[in-house]
Structure 1
Amino acid sequence: MFTRAPEATGEGTPLNVMQGAHDFVMTEPRFYEAQKIEIHEHGGQVSLERLNHEMTSYKTRQSSYGDPTGCMQGTRVKVLEKLDTWASDPNSSKVYWMVGMAGIGKSTIAHTFCENLEAKNILGGSFFASRVSEKTRNARLIIPVIAYALARASPRIKIEVVKAIEDDPTLAEPTYININEQFKRLVYNPLQTAV
């Protein structure tokens, strides 16, 4: 038995999905209802998983200095406050460029920044490049990894990303040649549709 989410004015009402059906098995079905239009998802997770690449997000990244972690408590406070202000201000520049010599803590600061954004539920995705990992040195993985993270964060974006991959499976390939087209179809268009 499925139940619709309660409306602002009353109780949830039964959602009669396949009423009277029998002699079949549903494996991990997902049902979404939006504005009285039901979307029954199937196979989308397989398409979406093609965008997932291990060791590319802040949680799974590799470091040349051992286990990657964030900043120690009470350190880099001013830099993190500056990043937080930048992320919270809709009028700030679209890019924050952190520059410095190798080994001074840019990745550690970025790791902590991602943790902070995730704690506030505003992290769309992350991609960490590392000279240690051949995989993360591949710039062609950035767009698929970000699209994957956005799709996992939003069911509406997920529907659009899966649709794009099903329309053109080569979009999920790390060898996809036209990065602008890949960005448009896997990130930009799904974000526009979800807004």
Structure 2
Amino acid sequence: MSTYHLLWETKEAQLLSKLHIAEGATVDCDDDQDTTSDCLEGTQVNTLELIQHWLECPNYENMFWLSGMAGTGKSTISRTVAKACHLNRSMVNQNPLQRRNVVLGASFLFDKNDDDRKTTKHLFTTLCRGLTEHMPNIKSDVCDVISAHPNIGSESISKQ
């Protein structure tokens, strides 16, 4: 590896470190290993199958909007889907996804008891850092933006 390449990687790491992340907010973090937060076997099957079909169908919209009354399992469903996509497995019956390119680029799990995770303050910075880890081809563009706008991570959500 060339000296230039090492210097550029160091510069990228310094720039990305300016984006504050909410520790524990990603589905793959060590703090999120509580399996009781997943849908219990046999529950939410229709919703999970609908979401899995949406994931596997290239003609569907880019966003799946999950809505419902408080306490109906939206967070549990979201966590189950995120973990399944992170591990590249099915949400239902644990069968491998048919389309192997269905993976999780980044995640943010809100938590009303955690100051960094109970608001959207660090939502985009956490997602952005996660995306640069899973999609290295965007890292240079993200670093260019941070170089041009060094305080972007502390700006309002609309500016980010």
TM-score, L = length of structure 2: 0.73
Runs of at least 5 residues in structure 1 that lack an aligned partner in the other structure: 3-16, 19-28, 32-38, 183-195
Shift of 1:40: 4.0
Q: How many residues in Structure 1 have an aligned counterpart in Structure 2?
A: 145
Whether 1:76 and 2:57 are equivalent positions in the alignment is no
Equivalent residue for 1:13? none
> CA 1:55 to 1:137, structure 2 compared with 1: closer, same or farther past 3 Å?
same
Deviations 1:75-134 (A, max 9, x none): 322211111111222322333222223333211111110111112262111112232223
RMSD: 2.9
Higher Cα Rg: structure 1 or 2? Answer: 1
TM-score, structure 1 length as denominator?
0.62
> What is the deviation of 1:56?
2.0
C-alpha contact 1:165 1:171 (8 A) present in aligned 2:
yes
Aligned residues: percent identity? 26
Q: Does 1:100 align with 2:92?
A: no
1:58–1:111 CA contact under 8 A, matched in 2? yes
Alignment of 1:1-195 (within 5 A): 17=2, 40-51=8-19, 52-60=21-29, 69-120=37-88, 122-173=103-154, 176-177=155-156, 179-182=157-160
**Residue type of the alignment partner of 1:107:** S
How far the C-alpha of 1:67 sits from its partner, in A, is 7.6
Regions of 4+ moved over 6 Å: none
Amino acid at match of 1:73: E
8 Å contact kept, 1:48–1:148? yes
SS of residue in 2 equivalent to 1:42: helix
